[in-house]
Chain A
Amino acid sequence: MTRFYTQLAPRTRPAGEVDRPALVLDRVRLTFPDGDARAVALDDVTVRVGQAEFVAVTGPSGSGKSSLLAVAGALIAPESGRVVVAGEDLAGLDAAGRDRLRLASIGFVFQQPNLLPSLTVLDQLMLVAHVRRSAAAPARERALRLLDRVGLAGMQARRPAALSGGERQRVSVARALMGDPALLLVDEPTSALDHDRGAAVVQLLREITDERSLATVMVTHDLQHLGRVDRTVTMADGRLHDQARTVDDRR
Chain B
Amino acid sequence: MFIAWRDLAFAKGRFGLLGGVIALMTFMVVMLSGLTAGLGAASVSAVSSLPVDAIAFSQPADGQDVSFTDSSLSARAADRLGGRTGVHAAYPFGLRPTQVEGPGATVAVTLLGGDPALYPARTAGATPAPGQVAITAEVADAAGLHVGELATVGGSRLRVAAVVDDASFSHLPMVYTDLATWQRLAHSERVTAVGLRLSGTSPGALDTDTVHVLSKKDAFAAVGSYTSEQGSLNLMRGLLIVVSVLVVGSFFTVWTMQRAGDLAVVRAIGASRGYLLADALGQAAVVLLAGSALGAGAAVAAGLVAAQVVPFHLAAPTLLVPLAAMAGTGLVGAAVSVRRIGSVDPLTALGAAR
Contact = CB atoms under 8 A, between A and B. Distances in A.
Contact of A103 (B7, B9, B262, B270): B270
B350 A127 contact: no
Interface string A111-127: 11010111100010011
B131 to A, nearest CB: 78
Interface residues of A, number: 34
Nearest to A67: B350
B11 A118 contact: yes
A112 B354 contact: yes
A99 B270 contact: yes
A116 B262 contact: yes
Interface in B328-347: 346-347
A131 B266 contact: yes
Contact of A102 (B2, B268, B353): B268
Interface of B is mostly: helix
A191 to B, nearest CB: 9
Given A114-B349, A114-B354, A75 B269 contact: no
Given A123-B6, A127-B2, A187-B350, A110 B271 contact: no
Contact of B271 (A69, A73, A76, A131): A131
A73 B269 CA distance: 10
A99 B272 contact: yes
Interface in A59-86: 66, 69-70, 73, 75-76
A110 B265 contact: yes
A131 B275 contact: yes
B351 interface: yes
Given A70-B347, A114-B352, A114-B354, A104 B268 contact: no
B10 A117 contact: yes
Nearest to B263: A116
A118 B3 contact: yes
Given A114-B352, A117-B10, A127-B3, A73 B275 contact: no
Contacts of A127: 2-3, 266, 269
A119 B6 contact: yes
Nearest to B274: A96
Contact of B350 (A66, A116, A132, A179): A66
Contacts of B270: 99-104, 106, 128, 131-132, 179
Given A102-B268, A127-B2, A118 B7 contact: yes
A69 B272 contact: no
A112 B352 contact: yes
A130 interface: yes
Contacts of B6: 116, 118-119, 123
Contacts of A73: 268, 350
A119 B271 CA distance: 16
B261 interface: yes
A23 B275 CA distance: 27
A76 B347 contact: yes
Contacts of B351: 66, 110-111, 187
Interface in B272-295: 272, 275
A224 to B, nearest CB: 22
Q: Which of A99, A104, A106, A123 has the most CB of B within 10 A?
A: A99
Contacts of A128: 269-270
Contacts of A101: 270
Q: Which of A96, A118, A187 has the most CB of B within 10 A?
A: A118
Q: Which of B11, B347, B350, B352 has the most CB of A within 10 A?
A: B350
B350 A70 contact: yes
B267 to A, nearest CB: 8
Interface string B2-22: 110011011100000000000
B56 to A, nearest CB: 65
B354 A131 contact: no
Interface in B7-43: 7, 9-11
Q: Which of A66, A70, A75 has the most CB of B within 10 A?
A: A75
A111 B354 CA distance: 10
A184 B3 CA distance: 24
A54 interface: no
B269 A103 contact: yes
B2 A130 contact: yes
Contacts of B265: 110, 114, 116
A127 B268 CA distance: 12
Nearest to B346: A75
Contacts of A175: 269
Given A102-B268, A179-B270, A126 B2 contact: yes
A99 B274 CA distance: 11
Contacts of B268: 73, 75, 102, 108, 110
A175 B262 CA distance: 14
Nearest to B272: A99
B268 to A, nearest CB: 5
5 contacts: A75-B347, A106-B270, A116-B3, A116-B266, A118-B6
Interface of A: 66, 69-70, 73, 75-76, 96, 99-104, 106, 108, 110-112, 114, 116-119, 123, 126-128, 130-132, 159, 175, 179, 187
Given A66-B350, A112-B354, A123-B2, 6 more contacts: A70-B350, A102-B269, A111-B351, A118-B11, A126-B2, A131-B269
